[in-house]
Amino acid sequence: MSNINTESKKTNTYDVIVIGSGISGGWAAKEFTEKGLKTLVLERGRDVQHIKDYPTTNKYPFEFEHRGEPALAIQKENPIASRCYIFREDAMHFVVKDHEHPYVQEKPFDWIRGYQVGGKSLLWARQTQRWSDFDFEGPARDGFAVDWPIRYKDLAPWYSYAEKFAGIAGNKDGLKELPDGEFLPGYPLNAVEDYFKGFVKNKYPNRHVISARCAHLSKPNQIHFDQGRAKCQNRILCQRGCPFGGYFSSNASTLPWAAKTGNLTLRPFSVVESVIYDDKLGKATGVRVVDANTKEEMEFYAKIIFVNAAAINTNLILLNSKSTRFPNGLGNDNGQLGKFVAFHNYSARISAEYDGMKQFSTDGRNPAGGGYIPRFRNVYKQETNFKRGYAAGFSAHRSNERDMTGVGENLKKNILNPPLGPWHVGSHMMGETIPKESNFVSLHQSKKDNWGVPLLNISVDYDENDALMKKDYVAEMSQMFDEAGFKNIKVNDSSQAPGLDIHEMGGARMGLDPKTSILNKWNQIHACPNVFVTDGACMTSTSCQNPSLTYMALTARAADYAVKSMNRFEI
């Protein structure tokens, strides 16, 4: 530990340090400050204040220099970031550029990041589904990973707690594989989405099309007004930052809530180099930080440390947190830190046309995005040649056909009175990948970034199970489309690298046995119990649901336990 005078140490000491201000970091800040603990939140990027720092939120399409498309020079400078759908003129200022924080790709991996206060909570797709015991029991049943140390009953009350505060729109669907939650009114399906829902229900009793559940205030409750948020305006410009707070983000919700307590200190431009471990005390005492702008090194101290830097950066920090006790990274007695990284497989899409329902069109916008098909493969029993399964999105829309034929007045009439074309339907795959020791991240032995922190090697890839699962998705969804009367069915295999799904998980997984996991059932590091990890790095497996709601629930649960443990002088 570096020398620091007593007065300086007192100034830099807090009850809790939270590393990261994204979805899980924001929740940690809310929970601790509400409980009266002086909390320091460290964010490596710039400050982004709600409403004030959303520069494009009210711009019209014609106000963007290139109608939304990044300039060709910018795309060439950012071959990784520009592959992401968010990387457009209205939101690319919230996305890390390729040169800003390089990494080493031992295998192709598109690492999409948001380095600012709020992190990727400003950019996420806002889909929110609970896990079920089919998910938590999956590794034990299917033998592909260590057993989760918790089950659905352990997290169910915390799902409810998070949903009520965040605001989740959805319907009570009564599905065992996708438990219901504390919902605001769900967004309706349009005519063709509803038609497909009915068709699937009649043809496939064990398959379901539901309205997608999303973190939008369809009808706010008082708790949302108390946060200063308002009803979602259905603008679907969410990636710009929402001035209404209509969708959940750290910036609109948890961080302002934490700030109102008077217990929050938020420090942007703070690159966390490592967690400090005191060999004599046998616990972590703080964190080392490098100022992003001045490169000044400093240390902050706390009794409790929550590492919520987003999955891959959390692994980086823990691997770089070396001491005499932990020469290979904090808590890494078993050598498994950074290993068993997994993600979601979003590489397949299917589109088609539907010639029916000509009496209907669409009016307005649906922030939920349409329908959601919960996983239906290998749920109650193993029935395929691959493990686990996939969920799928489903949406339909109808648009005008452009008729550029004719001359003079006829051309003018054709342009001004475009006829409606057929319905277009589409689906995308959300496949669960299997955590493997061969999928890992590690520190580069010699290369460092601008702040003196080792670059990260990323070695993550698909496997045969992913290929078999994708083949099944294409076959099953194509058959369902065909039987529903959809025509001109087309399959698109993007062959995209892992990472573009932006759902990376694992590396510091939870488990029952310290020999095979990094964290216990309370998200504590087994060998350093005053350090907690509740972002994607903690995940033992990925399921196929969008993970953010689970991060919120895990964080609230772990923070509650941490405070009680501290009050009992256990940490």
Is the same domain home to 115 and 162?
yes
Is the same domain home to 353 and 447?
no
Strands 210-211, 371-373: pairing is antiparallel
Query: Does some domain include residue 92?
Result: yes
Domain boundary among 497, 517, 547: 497
Query: Does some domain include residue 228?
Result: no
Please give the backbone phi and psi of residue 487, each rounded to the nearest 5 degrees, phi first: -120, 170
The C-alpha atoms of residue 325 and residue 405 are separated, in whole angstroms, by 76
Instruction: Tell me the CA distances in angstroms from 524 to 405, 512, 521, one per residue in order.
Output: 67, 12, 7
Counting runs of H as helices and runs of E as strands, what totals does the chain give?
13, 22
The C-alpha atoms of residue 450 and residue 448 are separated, in whole angstroms, by 7
Query: Does some domain include residue 315?
Result: yes
The C-alpha atoms of residue 472 and residue 483 are separated, in whole angstroms, by 16
The C-alpha atoms of residue 72 and residue 421 are separated, in whole angstroms, by 32
Query: What pLDDT is stored for residue 409 in this prediction?
Result: 84
Q: Shortest CA distance to 1 belongs to which of 328, 285, 325, 295?
A: 285
The C-alpha atoms of residue 159 and residue 335 are separated, in whole angstroms, by 32
The CATH number of the domain holding residue 128 is 3.50.50.60
Instruction: Tell me the CA distances in angstroms from 91 to 204, 239, 269, 317, one per residue in order.
Output: 40, 6, 20, 27
Query: Does some domain include residue 223?
Result: no
Is the same domain home to 255 and 308?
yes
* Token couple for 526: 């087994």
Is the same domain home to 59 and 196?
no
- Helices (H), ranges, 389-453: 409-416
DSSP 194-251: HHHHHHHHHH-TT---EEPPBSB-SS--HHHHHTT---------GGG--TT--B--II
Is the same domain home to 49 and 97?
yes
Query: Does some domain include residue 220?
Result: no
Is the same domain home to 68 and 12?
yes
Structural domains of the chain, count: 2
Is the same domain home to 81 and 197?
no
Query: What pLDDT is stored for residue 399 in this prediction?
Result: 85
The letter for the amino acid at 421 is G
Domain boundary among 447, 476, 497: 497
Query: What pLDDT is stored for residue 11 in this prediction?
Result: 87
Contact call for residues 372 and 129 (beta carbons, < 8 A): yes
Query: What pLDDT is stored for residue 401 in this prediction?
Result: 80
The letter for the amino acid at 33 is T
Q: What DSSP element (H or E) covers 256?
A: helix 255-260
Those residues whose C-beta lies under 8 Å from the C-beta of residue 505, and which sit 6 or more positions away, are: 311, 341, 342, 343, 536, 537, 539, 542, 547
- Burial class of residue 235 in the structure, from the number of CB atoms within 10 Å of its CB (0-12 exposed, 13-18 middle, 19+ buried): middle
Is the same domain home to 117 and 48?
yes
Query: What pLDDT is stored for residue 453 in this prediction?
Result: 98
Question: 285 lies in which domain range?
Answer: 1-170+248-342+437-460+504-571
Is the same domain home to 90 and 60?
yes
Domain boundary among 497, 512, 545: 497
Query: Does some domain include residue 533?
Result: yes
Query: Does some domain include residue 235?
Result: no
Query: Does some domain include residue 456?
Result: yes
Is the same domain home to 422 and 449?
no
Is the same domain home to 208 and 354?
yes
Q: Across the strands, what pairs with 301?
A: 13, 286
Is the same domain home to 445 and 530?
yes
Q: What DSSP element (H or E) covers 24?
A: helix 23-34
Reading the chain (571 residues) residue by residue, the pLDDT tens digits are: 344 445 668 789 999 999 999 999 999 999 999 999 999 999 999 999 999 999 999 999 999 999 999 999 999 999 999 999 999 999 999 999 999 999 999 999 999 999 999 999 999 999 999 999 999 999 999 999 999 999 999 999 999 999 999 999 999 999 999 999 999 999 999 999 999 999 999 999 999 999 999 999 999 999 999 999 999 999 999 999 999 999 999 999 999 999 999 999 999 999 999 999 999 999 999 999 999 999 999 999 999 999 999 999 999 999 999 999 999 999 999 999 999 999 999 999 999 999 999 999 988 899 999 999 999 999 999 999 999 999 999 999 998 887 777 788 888 887 887 888 899 999 999 999 999 999 999 999 999 999 999 999 999 999 999 999 999 999 999 999 999 999 999 999 999 999 999 999 999 999 999 999 999 999 999 999 999 999 999 999 999 999 999 999 999 999 999 999 999 999 9
